[in-house]
């Protein structure tokens, strides 16, 4: 029964993709959308059933084997579904958000003629993501990894007649391929070192290879550190970490439901999932783990600074996603894998809510995305406004952290429970990288609050900056768009408090029981609650999570969030018009942030120009100057000229041919007799 359950969860979206993609034009728009959406909701409902089944530890099989996929020499890989709590969490995240996005798209894409194609792409993406999160080996994971890359390219460039959408799709595809080179090399290194690509086999033999040294690009490197680094390069590309982040904001060129599905809750979290899935490798690669901590912390800070001044409503949320992914990575870098996954889980609800809420605003304002042209809309779209407020409260981490020894009760929105836990985990690490991550997280929390409330105030409050004809025709979104907002709002409010103990509290031991092979379960001695997933015991004294921290550490994220709100209110409500003054009087710092630290310009001046120069060199000097010159324009041209002259001898008269034959015969006879006579 369980095997059938998981097969339906994984393959229902694929079935929807095939039916909608190949038969959509024949059966029509509504049947196509109904089939695709219905199958996704079936998959989502069964995912929640599976999640609670795993949560309650009811006879879960560690792996569901489907069939032998690859058996070449020593490389053996099955197509199998690895079932543990990590899988359960991702199944819920992927299918729930995807099902709600499918439903939301009924309203958002109402007037688009390509609805069957759009829904087919959504379902294809979901299937590829499910392949990724259920993989029990690196080959299957790589298959799903590349599958979501393909689907994201199709979805970002869905409006292919729009040049900017095509450019964004190509940018996303190429940037991710750069990261995927590192990931592919990492998988090859895994097989080279361990002789297997199966997770359980690799994890079980890690200790035996922990001191192994390999030669890589002329350097002697620890094999496990090398594997960890190469895999993280892939994660950097997929999860838009600094340097490989440039594709994520441009990907907002796709329809808004695409942004919510790919760039808020699923694809971009694949890198975080990868690090947590193979965390035994990172436990034995402290140098790479430190590197992950620093990159994640810097990304959280960098993306937050850029979001401060962006004016496109979707780009603000996109850079917010990039920043929150940085939080997840530095949590994983300090070994707080449970905290990283917890933030991934809650982030899926409130960030999808914010993206779909932004889509509702754009839909009401006739596809206007510039916040400078909005304002005063909360009375027109009050339900969307309330949903966006809930998402903002969750993102900014509004809550009450308690006072140890006085008030031990804590409560708040989803982001409060998970993001504060991530920041506290960095403080608890006690390393220099952890200290950097802690302060970066606190400062980023201040900026997150400011840009989030700036978005709310510029979009919904103040005077109308919308064209009169637009605001007069603005209406609240239809029910199919509001229902997903309502459901996601519940998750943004309650997911943190409901599931906190399961991820990191007293129930964490059972929650993560299947994250490791049976023979690798941690020693049952008490450990800190922020230790790696898979631990069999959590110290009851620390189960609640906060008693080890100074009061200022607990309250710092909440206080800076309040400061960010006050600053945004003062600038955009009390002194309306600040945005216009900043834009007109902004100095070098403002332009630096508005142009995203000039990273794109730096890429254009180095990588893009160098690539173009190299392409021109091969084209003009190699192809045209060498190959064409001596090939088609040289020998080939001479042969054609000779053939053209010889063709003049083909007169078509029989006596001409007879004369030439006789003349040739005479020449041959003369040569024969001349030679014999000599």
pLDDT tens string 584-596: 666 788 889 888 8
Name which of 255-259, 562-566, 619-623 the model is least confident about: 619-623
- Read off the pLDDT of each residue in 370-377 and give the average, rounded to a whole number: 86
Which SS3 state, helix, strand or coil, does residue 669 take?
Answer: helix
b/e string for 42-55 if b means 16 or more Cβ within 10 A? Answer: bbbebbeebbebbb
Indicate whether 444 pLDDT > 80.
yes
CA 276 to chain centre: 15
At 361, is the pLDDT very low, low, confident or very high (cuts 50, 70, 90)? very high
- Read off the pLDDT of each residue in 554-575 and give the average, rounded to a whole number: 92
Which SS3 state, helix, strand or coil, does residue 374 take?
Answer: coil
CA distance 371 to 311: 6
- Read off the pLDDT of each residue in 564-588 and give the average, rounded to a whole number: 79
- Read off the pLDDT of each residue in 314-326 and give the average, rounded to a whole number: 93
Indicate whether 645 pLDDT > 50.
yes
b/e string for 435-457 if b means 16 or more Cβ within 10 A? Answer: ebbbbbbbbbbbbbbbbbbbbbb
Q: What is the dihedral of CA 526, 531, 537, 538, to 10 degrees?
A: 70
CA distance 257 to 368: 16
CA distance 613 to 24: 44
Indicate whether 521 pLDDT > 70.
no
CA distance 234 to 189: 14
Q: Could you tell me the pTM of the whole model?
A: 0.86
Please, where are the H alpha helices in 308-413? 313-333, 337-364, 382-395
Helix 85-108 vs helix 270-277: crossing angle, to nearest 10: 170
Query: What tokens were used for 30?
Result: 């509504």
Query: What tokens were used for 397?
Result: 């981490």
> pLDDT tens for residues 171-204?
989 899 899 999 999 999 999 999 999 998 999 8
Residue 215 forms beta bridges with which residues? 220
Q: Looking at residue 400, what DSSP letter applies?
A: E
CA distance 78 to 68: 4
> pLDDT tens for residues 536-551?
333 333 333 444 688 8
Structural contact between residues 446 and 561, judged by C-beta atoms closer than 8 angstroms: yes
The phi and psi torsions of 557 (rounded to 5 degrees) equal -60, -40
Angle in degrees, CA 262, 136, 72, rounded to 5: 115
C-beta atoms surrounding 593 within 10 Å? 16
- Read off the pLDDT of each residue in 492-496 and give the average, rounded to a whole number: 93
- Read off the pLDDT of each residue in 37-47 and give the average, rounded to a whole number: 95
- Read off the pLDDT of each residue in 300-312 and give the average, rounded to a whole number: 94
Helix 115-133 vs helix 2-27: crossing angle, to nearest 10: 160
Which SS3 state, helix, strand or coil, does residue 477 take?
Answer: coil
Looking at residue 193, what is its pLDDT? 93
Which SS3 state, helix, strand or coil, does residue 223 take?
Answer: helix
Give the mean pLDDT of the chain: 85
């Amino acid at each position: 029964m369980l095997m059938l359950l998981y097969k339906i969860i994984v393959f229902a979206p694929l079935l929807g993709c095939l039916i909608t993609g190949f038969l959509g034009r024949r059966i029509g728009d509504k049947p196509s959308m109904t089939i695709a959406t219905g199958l996704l909701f079936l998959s989502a409902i069964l995912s929640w059933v599976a999640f609670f089944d795993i949560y309650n530890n009811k006879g879960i099989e560690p792996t569901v084997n489907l069939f032998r996929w690859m058996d070449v020499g020593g490389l053996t890989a099955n197509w199998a579904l690895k079932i543990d709590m990590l899988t359960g969490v991702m199944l819920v995240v992927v299918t729930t958000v995807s099902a709600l996005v499918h439903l939301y798209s009924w309203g958002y894409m109402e007037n688009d003629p390509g609805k069957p194609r759009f829904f087919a792409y959504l379902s294809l993406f979901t299937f590829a993501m499910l392949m990724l999160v259920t993989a029990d080996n690196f080959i299957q994971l790589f298959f799903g990894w590349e599958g979501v890359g393909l689907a994201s390219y199709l979805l970002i460039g869905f409006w292919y007649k729009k040049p900017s959408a095509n450019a964004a799709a190509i940018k996303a595809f190429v940037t991710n391929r750069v990261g995927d080179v590192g990931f592919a090399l990492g998988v090859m290194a895994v097989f080279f070192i361990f002789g297997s690509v199966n997770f359980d086999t690799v994890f079980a033999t890690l200790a035996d290879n922990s001191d192994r040294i390999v030669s890589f690009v002329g350097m002697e490197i620890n094999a496990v550190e090398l594997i960890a680094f190469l895999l993280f390069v892939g994660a950097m590309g997929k999860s838009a970490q600094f340097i490989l982040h440039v594709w994520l904001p441009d990907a907002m060129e796709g329809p808004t439901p695409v942004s919510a599905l790919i760039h808020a809750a699923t694809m971009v979290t694949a890198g975080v999932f990868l690090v947590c899935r193979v965390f035994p490798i990172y436990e034995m690669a402290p140098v790479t783990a430190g590197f992950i901590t620093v990159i994640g912390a810097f990304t959280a800070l960098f993306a937050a600074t850029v979001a401060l001044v962006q004016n496109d409503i979707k780009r603000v949320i996109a850079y917010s996603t990039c920043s929150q992914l940085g939080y997840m990575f530095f949590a994983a870098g300090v070994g707080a894998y449970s905290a990283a996954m917890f933030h991934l889980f809650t982030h899926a609800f409130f960030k999808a809510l914010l993206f779909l809420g932004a889509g509702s605003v754009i839909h009401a304002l006739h596809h206007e995305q510039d916040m400078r042209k909005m304002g005063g809309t909360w009375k027109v779209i009050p339900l969307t406004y309330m949903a966006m407020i809930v998402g903002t409260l969750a993102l900014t981490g509004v809550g009450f952290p308690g006072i140890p020894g006085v008030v031990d009760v804590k409560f708040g929105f989803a982001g409060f429970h998970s993001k504060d836990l991530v920041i506290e985990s960095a403080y608890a690490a006690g390393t220099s990288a952890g200290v950097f991550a802690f302060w970066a997280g606190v400062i980023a929390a201040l900026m997150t609050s400011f840009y989030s409330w700036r978005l709310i105030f510029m979009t919904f409050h103040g005077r109308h900056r919308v064209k009169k004809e637009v605001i007069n025709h603005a209406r609240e979104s239809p029910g199919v768009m509001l229902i997903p907002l309502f459901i996601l709002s519940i998750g943004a409010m309650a997911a943190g408090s409901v599931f906190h103990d399961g991820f990191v509290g007293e129930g964490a031991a059972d929650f993560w029981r299947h994250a490791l092979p049976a023979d690798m379960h941690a020693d049952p001695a008490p450990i800190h609650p922020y230790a790696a997933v898979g631990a069999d015991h959590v110290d009851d004294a620390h189960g609640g999570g906060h008693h080890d921290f100074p009061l200022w550490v607990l309250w710092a994220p909440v206080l800076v969030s309040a400061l960010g709100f006050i600053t945004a209110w003062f600038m955009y409500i009390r002194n309306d018009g600040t945005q216009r003054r900043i834009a007109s009087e902004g100095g070098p710092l403002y332009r630096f942030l508005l142009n995203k630290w000039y990273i794109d310009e730096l890429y254009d001046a180095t990588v893009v120009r160098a690539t173009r120069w190299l392409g021109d060199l091969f084209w003009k000097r190699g192809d045209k100057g060498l190959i064409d010159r001596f090939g088609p324009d040289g020998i080939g041209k001479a042969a054609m000229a000779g053939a053209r002259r010889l063709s003049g001898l083909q007169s078509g008269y029989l006596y001409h041919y007879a004369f030439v034959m006789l003349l040739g015969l005479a020449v041959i006879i003369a040569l024969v007799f001349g030679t014999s006579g000599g």
